[in-house]
A and B are shown apart, each in its own frame.
Chain A
Amino acid sequence: MELVTDKKILTKGNYAIANAAVMAGCECYFGYPITPQSEIGEFMSGKMQELKRAYVSAESELAAINMVIGACSTGKKAMTSSSSCAVALMQEGLSYAASDELPVVLVSVMRGGPGLGNIYPSQGDYFQATKGGGDGDYKLIVLAPSTVQECADLTYKAFYLAHKYKNPTVLLADGMLGQMMEPVVFKDYPYPKVDNSSWALDGANNRDGRIIRSYAPSAHNQCEFLQKLHQKYKLIEENETEWEEIGTDDADVILVSFGSTARNAKIAAKMCREKGLKVGVLRPITLFPFPSKRLSELSKQGKKFISVEVNMGQMINDVKLAVKDDVKLINKPVGIPPAPVEIVKQIEEYYASF
């Protein structure tokens, strides 16, 4: 596979992510293969070596995430990629990276779970990404692409936000986005360089030594640290919450949906409009920070909400917290998202229930 820098090509979401990571200046890739994201490692194995950057085919997911922690400690742009049951193995590392305040980038291409599950698309790791499986009060920045173009664009953004906030950042895609091909244009990396000279372990030549560690020797220190960490999360919520809205102004009902599923939600909303039902769509692009404030505003206007997901209902909890009201769930447990006609049918039933 060639690195594409200047033209429109048709490619898989996985290749788009890998190509964009290289263009974002990712200097180190560590990973262990798993369907449905193995193309990322495949692309990196050739390209990173060609560009004299670091590629390590790690012996396990634990090794991969800890290698990323090591590379990020030196201020380098480093990443790993994996899927559901293997991201589960990385949770300890992510918690450490959050407490070390390291710019770890993780690409998580969701498949069916729990356990080994299956290899089909799923959004069952919404909780895993936004609530975390590691210990302690930490947050990961989570970005959810909906198209192959966004797979590329949000990969750039993931590197930028991770370094800007010194916080582990997850690009949360799914098997459908990873495996499907769509046209994509790779723009130049659009974000400024982030200065890491105040913290990176880049050699104590002519300066005092530094230490990055996940350990607070006293209760007092840990309190201070957590306050500081959560001030950062608040700042991220204020500055970086991103979402897309379609036809919400005059809508009675708003479909809240992210990632690949949002594509079908949008079509369903359009079909509803053709039937005279005022349905809009709000698609969170950042899952943390979640667009709670906007949902709350819309709720105060008397609108009703339906969460559309490919899981048993996970994001719906965040929607409920934001709108302080009952929220209907339209879901499919696993697989490609429910067809627009199925979504429309359930929306019509919902309207009929009033």
Chain B
Amino acid sequence: MEKIFLIAGFGGQGVLLAGEVLANAFMLADKNVTWYPSYGAEMRGGTVNCSVTMSDEEIGSVQSYNSDYVIALNQASFDRFLPGVRKGGTIIVNTSLAVEAKPRDDVKYVFAPLTSLAEEKLGNVKMTNIIALGLLAKSSGLISLDELEKALETVIPPHRKNLLPLNKSALEMGYKYDLLPINC
């Protein structure tokens, strides 16, 4: 089984970090995994994305267009990457920064005001990306909360370990968020 995940948003929203946590979680779950960023002349506030490919077998392509799961943290990412979601795939949309709309009827939508949740419930806007990972874990069923928590411990550097409890709360909040309605 091979699944491709794409995370996209503004530079500064923790897009690459979220991908790194997800990829580490798959590694800890003994899957083959690759993480590939859009790299180069990027800047804070510009657009950024990364793809994570998980497979039981050898991984070839690191292409980022056709994905099984997309996390769109802003409107531009929703517009750009919705067409590439595979039929029956899922797009998780940050409705704080994107309009709740369903232009396609052959994909599943998960709408959540991620930025507002991070700001209002956790008091830290930087938790947006991690809440999204919680939602991804729940809606995909492909990775456990436990594995994501272990991945967070690996990825968060020693001098930021004080943020670990907050990150774990963010994961949990995403995981427990009422996913309904998921419509096709």
21 CB < 8 A contacts A-B: A10-B23, A10-B35, A10-B154, A35-B40, A36-B40, A120-B40, A175-B39, A179-B36, A180-B35, A180-B62, A182-B33, A182-B35, A182-B59, A183-B27, A183-B32, A263-B58, A263-B59, A264-B60, A336-B63, A339-B61, A340-B60
8 A Cβ contacts from B87-122 to A? none
Known: A8-B27, A10-B20, A119-B40. A181 touches B35 (CB 8 A): yes
The smallest beta-carbon distance between A337 and chain B, in angstroms, is 7
The smallest beta-carbon distance between A85 and chain B, in angstroms, is 15
* Most A C-beta atoms less than 10 A away, residue of B32, B40, B61: B61
Say whether B35 contacts A266, CB under 8 Å.
no
Say whether B35 contacts A176, CB under 8 Å.
no
Known: A179-B39, A180-B34, A182-B33. A10 touches B27 (CB 8 A): yes
A267 is an interface residue with CB less than 8 A from chain B = yes
Minimal Cβ-Cβ distance residue in A for B24? A10
User: In the complex, what residues of A have CB within 8 A of residue B63's CB?
Assistant: 336, 339
B84 is an interface residue with CB less than 8 A from chain A = no
B37 is an interface residue with CB less than 8 A from chain A = yes
Complex Cα distance, B57 from A263, in Å, reads 12
Task: For the complex of A and B, list the 7 residue pairs with the smallest distance between their C-beta atoms, beginning with the closest.
Answer: A267-B60, A181-B35, A263-B60, A180-B36, A264-B60, A183-B27, A119-B40
* Most B C-beta atoms less than 10 A away, residue of A8, A10, A36, A120: A10
Minimal Cβ-Cβ distance residue in A for B35? A181
The smallest beta-carbon distance between B47 and chain A, in angstroms, is 16
User: In the complex, what residues of B have CB within 8 A of residue A267's CB?
Assistant: 58, 60-61
Minimal Cβ-Cβ distance residue in A for B66? A339
Complex Cα distance, B66 from A339, in Å, reads 11
Complex Cα distance, B164 from A160, in Å, reads 42
Complex Cα distance, B62 from A120, in Å, reads 13
Say whether A182 contacts B34, CB under 8 Å.
yes
The smallest beta-carbon distance between A145 and chain B, in angstroms, is 14
Question: Chain B: interface residue count, which band?
Answer: 20 to 34
Known: A10-B27, A119-B40. A266 touches B62 (CB 8 A): no
The smallest beta-carbon distance between A280 and chain B, in angstroms, is 15
The smallest beta-carbon distance between A326 and chain B, in angstroms, is 27
Per-residue CB contact flags for chain B residues 19-57 toward chain A (1 = under 8 Å, else 0) read 010011001000011111101110000000000000000
User: In the complex, what residues of B have CB within 8 A of residue A263's CB?
Assistant: 58-61
The smallest beta-carbon distance between A153 and chain B, in angstroms, is 16
User: In the complex, what residues of B have CB within 8 A of residue A119's CB?
Assistant: 39-41
Minimal Cβ-Cβ distance residue in A for B21? A10
Minimal Cβ-Cβ distance residue in A for B38? A179
Complex Cα distance, B41 from A120, in Å, reads 11
Complex Cα distance, B36 from A120, in Å, reads 12
User: In the complex, what residues of A have CB within 8 A of residue B58's CB?
Assistant: 263, 266-267
8 A Cβ contacts from A162-200 to B? 175-176, 179-183
The smallest beta-carbon distance between B119 and chain A, in angstroms, is 30
The smallest beta-carbon distance between B131 and chain A, in angstroms, is 22
| 13 additional A-B residue pairs with CB within 8 Å, beyond A35-B40, A36-B39, A119-B40 | A10-B23, A10-B154, A179-B36, A179-B37, A181-B23, A181-B36, A182-B35, A182-B59, A264-B60, A266-B58, A267-B60, A337-B61, A340-B60
Complex Cα distance, B41 from A119, in Å, reads 9
Known: A10-B23, A10-B35. A264 touches B61 (CB 8 A): yes
User: In the complex, what residues of B have CB within 8 A of residue A176's CB?
Assistant: 36, 62
Say whether B34 contacts A181, CB under 8 Å.
yes
User: In the complex, what residues of A have CB within 8 A of residue B36's CB?
Assistant: 176, 179-181, 336
The smallest beta-carbon distance between B57 and chain A, in angstroms, is 9
Complex Cα distance, B62 from A267, in Å, reads 12
Complex Cα distance, B151 from A8, in Å, reads 13
Complex Cα distance, B33 from A180, in Å, reads 10
Say whether A181 contacts B20, CB under 8 Å.
yes
8 A Cβ contacts from A41-98 to B? none
8 A Cβ contacts from A118-132 to B? 119-120
User: In the complex, what residues of B have CB within 8 A of residue A181's CB?
Assistant: 20, 23, 34-36
Say whether A183 contacts B60, CB under 8 Å.
no
Minimal Cβ-Cβ distance residue in B for A266? B60
The smallest beta-carbon distance between B8 and chain A, in angstroms, is 16
